């Protein structure tokens, strides 16, 4: 027996199928930075009110996120429940540096797993993937967070560094790709496609994500998050 679908029913079924597919895809990959504005983020600077940024330390230029570094602070996600994910960030250094870091290594960073109730300050509790000339990929355990690397767990402290195993950075001024993979307490940092450090049994496993402003100019052309099962 031949079954013929009425045009209206066929359109509705097709629309439902396409809607279902696009929704599933949206749950898996999120463009945290859309290349147009700072939607989904808020700004915090030391000694300023939330979202007060008179010097435009954080702004969008030519579809890139431009962080001047002129004031210490950060751009933080409004969403606070990121858990299992692969975060992909592409950055390059600018030229300008500011006091008190005008003669130091260019410095910035990604802090993730910031608890929803963490106090906004420079800098809040979380796990940092270091972005600093020569040190991209290091762990910094901020605000008493801990993680285990090669069977050794850091002692809690205000800010504890655990150094990467390999150096795969590109020269200053070139684009670098960072990947932060977080899965049930195991955190892995990749720099330009190479695993540089891995930790397990992290003391924090879910929360917000931020990008630092720390005295150096830096540009981001991609900030993308792929959710993991």
Taken in order of first residue, the domains within the chain and their CATH numbers are 30-227 (2.60.120.560)
Q: Kindly report whether the global pTM for this prediction surpasses the value 0.85.
A: yes
C-alpha 112/C-alpha 124 separation (Å) is 10
C-alpha of 150 from chain center: 24
C-alpha 65/C-alpha 41 separation (Å) is 12
Q: What is the pLDDT of residue 153?
A: 95
Q: What is the pLDDT of residue 6?
A: 55
Q: 61 — phi, psi (to 5°)?
A: -135, 125
Residue 175: band (very low, low, confident or very high) from pLDDT cuts 50, 70, 90: very high
| Cα pseudo-dihedral 200, 208, 89, 214, rounded to 10 | -100
Of residues 3 and 197, more confidence is placed in 197
């Amino acid at each position: 027996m031949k079954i013929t679908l009425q045009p209206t029913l066929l359109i509705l079924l097709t629309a439902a199928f396409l809607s279902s597919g696009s929704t599933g895809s949206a749950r898996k990959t999120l463009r945290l930075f859309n290349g147009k504005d700072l939607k989904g983020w808020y700004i915090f600077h030391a000694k300023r009110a939330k979202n007060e940024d008179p010097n435009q330390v954080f702004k969008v230029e030519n579809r890139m996120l431009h962080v001047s570094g002129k004031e210490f602070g950060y751009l933080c996600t409004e969403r606070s429940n990121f858990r299992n994910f692969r975060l992909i960030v592409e950055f390059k250094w600018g030229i300008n540096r500011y006091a008190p870091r005008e003669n130091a290594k260019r410095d910035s960073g990604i802090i993730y797993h910031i608890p929803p109730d963490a106090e906004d300050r420079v800098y809040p509790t979380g796990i940092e993937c270091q972005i600093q000339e020569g040190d991209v990929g290091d762990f910094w355990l901020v605000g008493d967070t801990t993680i285990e690397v090669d069977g050794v767990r850091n002692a809690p402290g205000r800010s504890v560094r655990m150094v990467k195993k390999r150096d795969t950075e590109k020269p200053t001024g070139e684009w670098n790709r960072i990947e932060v993979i977080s899965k049930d307490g195991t955190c892995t940092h990749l720099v330009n496609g190479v695993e540089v450090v891995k930790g397990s049994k992290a003391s924090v496993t879910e929360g917000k994500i931020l990008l630092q402003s720390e005295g150096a100019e830096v540009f981001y052309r991609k900030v993308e998050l792929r959710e993991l099962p």
